Structure 1
């Protein structure tokens, strides 16, 4: 709905301004152009907004509003940083951006720290008032839940897609590799993270199940892929919806290469899992380049992180240990850490570091020459998948 608006803003030269102030690239995924469209197209919306009768916020703002009976209109810095309206250098709504998008400041929620006592809930909701002790975006919460609170620590969440974040510390920097810069959850000085998203990860397994019927349930994929020693030269680029970071090619499409008469369902299943790991490796390479930091380990979470074959191949192709915690639902764990710190249940980061536990470490086992060869072939497969659809 607002893609054309985003094209116009980019053509007018606003992309550098937006990236410099927000860490984001102009895209209809973020809130600003959606809000501008609503104000322009919903009858009476702009007039009511300017009269102070409309409030805007992300889902956390709505929840806080409802839980407090409308007493508090607030958000945290990480959710605010995804609106394309927050200056993430100073942590405040940016007047220049509000002017560009023509959005009244009066609509916006108060920006608060992620670990903070926002307010208490209405007593009648839960039989008494309960402190609201934290709020965060899901990926920033997962980064915090993985205890990635030091520079260079990185995590990847394996779900339908993948979301990789790397802590880059207190110094703000924009990406030269088409990644996003975001605010991280902190309990001290402001910290930043680089973020890269992979559009299709676990969704490729769903396609093997629902589209091809190779497996009856997603849980069968590991055993099937593990029944062969390797993919026998098959590469699957799951660009079903284009390619995300760091390629950002909306015209790419899914591609399978290297098929022979001997190719089996098992080879395709293995190539699908390996395609997930290759995409994550591309994102992490971009992060290392931007941050000028090596990644010494990768902490993993999300449903697909339970797949041992995928995690081992991820460690192999990255050349660093992949660490899976006991609790892989780290977004929820991060939210608990934030609330526990603000309420005094835990005193500081050292307390939560002692709570976090490793379930399994996957050590790289592939030779450097094999990794280089495999990644070269992956890059060739990527090249053939890109710009498949005619932009015209």
Structure 2
């Protein structure tokens, strides 16, 4: 390892967790990664993972500061603390204010706070993690990477809802899209894998996991995506409903004596694969149950794929050309069954499955799974959001260092 600072610490702060990874600027695989969980509750703990395996430790306190202190203590033990060049932070929502990743300044912190009403569960947690990290590491660059930024290239006809426009102008009601860091990374990887022209290609990327979204990417830019103002819209997900008639929601509130909070819980935590199957939100368990004849599991997978195919077809129409349908995310990378079901229903687009290639694409493997020599191809591309965050962080930190635009955060500037 170089004696110059070359390590990037990537942080993803949730309301009750802190996920982290440390990347050497020349390596895609993290040197160490892990998760601090049960923050704010009893029994907080942190798990470290590297090539030697995993280990879990209890935390002395249940806040983000204790979690980050444990991470920094681990880096100090490994003599890596002085090699930290910068810290990259995942932030879910940047609203319209951020179209790309940004070097953290007091103005950026204020802007993230200003759009927090659009993501009340996610952005306050990200700000807490940001301020904690700035207090601990005030003398190196910090960078924010936004899930929404990649989709800010969408045209108004793609992002506007057909509601009175003052709701958009005054309250920000529009489609923002999410999973942008994953979609951006996978788009670049697909162009390289298939030898496509960076300035002349069309992809539909399906990021499928407990959270799921699909995006139409033309020449490296998001043209349309399935998630909306929140991550609830679009595809069926693990516990989220995806698209649902608002009239059905109003009906449930009128006839079922359900509050807005009840509906929020119902659609975000009790629906999706879990709700349809009545069994689980885990796709692997659903596939096993479906094989054993469980009708709810079979139905959940059928609904999941039907919705996915419908959205892929619609997104393809946002492109000038279609070079590939791309599967990524935990389900997209590992479920040969879901991929086979999906490709079988996309024959109208000229796709034909190669069963042997499809079966081989598990556990981080990537490649073409369709047999057609001409026309659009079906491919699997493993995502790597942490690496994308690390790359953005390293580049913005380099520019800031070269231009002398680094901001030294005094303690009073990082308080909530």
Q: TM-score, normalised by structure 2?
A: 0.36
TM-score by length of 1: 0.38
